[in-house]
Amino acid sequence: MSAALVTLGILVLLALRVPVAFAILGPCLVYMAATDQSTGLSLRTAAQEINSFPLLAVPLFILVGVVSNHTGIADRIFAFAQVLLGRVRASLGYVNIGVSVGFSWMSGTALADVAGLGKMTVPAMTSRGYPRRFALGLSAASSLIGPVMPPSIPAIVYASVAAVSTAALFAAAVVPAFLIAGGLALAVYLWSRKQTHLAGRRAAPGEARKATLRVLGPLGAPVLLLGGILSGVFTPTEAAAVGAVYVLVLGFCYRRLTLRSLWRIMVETTTTAASIAIILAASGLLGWILARERVPQDISSFLLDFTDSPIVFLILVNLALILIGMVLEPIAALVITVPVLLPIAGQFGVDPVHFGVIVIVNLMIGLLTPPIGGVLFVLGSATKTPMHEVFRGTAPFLIPLLLVLALLTVAPDLVLFLPGYLGL
């Protein structure tokens, strides 16, 4: 009953548009006071949730994404993708996806992707005759590649909460990220078959060479980050530090960084990292309360009585996480649900790395669903588009995303192949 009242309080505060961290923290502190728990225990429990060496990578990867947004790296990737795919019908649809794949190796978050790329891809597509809803929906959906493809900030948080290898989770997420890109590309292909007016164009002489030379620097970032992590040269936290230095050097080399812009970058990075840290701390306190009230054990008993099939369990988890992702910010949802569901997944024989990828993909799909839909609101603001237009444009692209999620659920080898091959 106490856990139910805390949950109800959180939902009411979220409905009143209270910031997520405080919507979680308020009912938790009321519970602690009502059960005669000390304030010191509350503070220690919250602080312990963010006192983690792997989590140091989060602000550093945020810095990498913010610097990449401010230094024109996305523009260079966009120009290169246009040259590479320009001849194909509906080429800007594939370019949109390709740019998200390239940028994902540096951003690690969907909001940075859609904020930086949406302002570029949507106007470019609409000016070439693409329906605005299609451009909005594809830009929103392709931004989900960022938080799935390593270096993924949700993956770092999951690895910290679940006590699994961050490198193994990074490796496991590569194939799912490319499957999402492939599913969206298939959707573009099927849509474009009747769009004869969207013919491609051949690159001008010298354009390909110029675009390739301009993208060599940005392409060095994923080689440095992923190559260093997966080969064991760097830990993810060390790779984040090296990557941050690398993109800062690129920014000064491209003459796009000044001391004034560097200050703005640091403020933006600090603000974003601090908001995540507060959510993590508040969610950690909620997790302690749920554990004290034996909520994981109750859910485990219910599910084990309901089914003994891992597939049925994962389908139920998918349904629950999509509903949770519709109303709760992904990082908070991840920190709250993983301590409850992961032990149950273990009882069903589900690999924790496979489970982590499923959790992340589910919660990222939540970024595209009302009423929270963080990606939708950022894209609408960046492109000055009414929210109902963004919602309608995005809805068709949920189909390929859900199909990829279903494939990952029933075929764990797609997720676990690469970590096993690399010995992670």
Q: How confident is the model over 211-243, as pLDDT tens digits?
A: 778 888 887 877 787 777 777 777 778 888 888
Residue 406: its pLDDT value, please?
94
Domain ranges, residue 411: 54-422
Express the helix, strand and coil content of the chain in percent, nearest 5 each.
80, 0, 20
Residue 204: its pLDDT value, please?
67
Q: Which residue from 229, 263, 284, 293 is spatially nearest to 6, judged by alpha carbons?
A: 293
Instruction: Assess if residue 42 is contained within a domain.
Output: no
Q: For residues 138 and 97, what is the distance between their CA atoms, to the nearest angstrom? A: 8
Mean pLDDT by groups of 10 residues along the chain of 424 residues: 80 80 86 83 80 77 79 77 74 84 76 73 82 89 88 86 87 92 92 74 70 80 78 79 86 82 86 82 83 77 80 89 80 84 89 94 85 76 81 90 94 90 80
Instruction: Assess if residue 17 is contained within a domain.
Output: no
Instruction: Assess if residue 356 is contained within a domain.
Output: yes
Q: Provide the 8-state DSSP code for 54.
A: G
Instruction: Assess if residue 298 is contained within a domain.
Output: yes
Collapsed DSSP state (helix, strand, coil) of residue 246: helix
Instruction: Assess if residue 32 is contained within a domain.
Output: no
Residue 358: its pLDDT value, please?
94
Q: For residues 171 and 422, what is the distance between their CA atoms, to the nearest angstrom? A: 8
Residue 96: its pLDDT value, please?
86
For the chain, what is the domain count? 1
Q: For residues 421 and 417, what is the distance between their CA atoms, to the nearest angstrom? A: 6
Residue 84: its pLDDT value, please?
75
Residue 179: its pLDDT value, please?
94
Residue 383: its pLDDT value, please?
80
Specify whether the CB–CB gap between 106 and 200 falls below 8 A.
Answer: no
Instruction: Assess if residue 5 is contained within a domain.
Output: no
Those residues with Cβ within 8 angstroms of residue 126's Cβ, 6 or more apart along the chain or in another chain:
132, 135
Q: Provide the 8-state DSSP code for 202.
A: P
Question: How many Cβ atoms are within 10 Å of 166's Cβ, its own excluded?
Answer: 24
Compute the radius of gyration of the chain from its Cα atoms.
Answer: 22
End-to-end, the C-alpha distance of the chain in Å comes to 42
Instruction: Assess if residue 95 is contained within a domain.
Output: yes
CA quadruple 123, 127, 128, 133: dihedral sign: positive
Specify whether the CB–CB gap between 175 and 414 falls below 8 A.
Answer: yes
Specify whether the CB–CB gap between 353 and 415 falls below 8 A.
Answer: yes
- Angle between helix axes 2-15 and 20-34 (nearest 10 degrees) is 150
- Put simply, whether the predicted model's pTM sits higher than 0.75 gets the answer yes
Residue 172: its pLDDT value, please?
92
Q: For residues 381 and 364, what is the distance between their CA atoms, to the nearest angstrom? A: 19
In DSSP notation, 340-400 reads: HHHHHHHHTT--HHHHHHHHHHHHHHHTTSTTT-HHHHHHHHHHT--HHHHHHHHGGGHHH
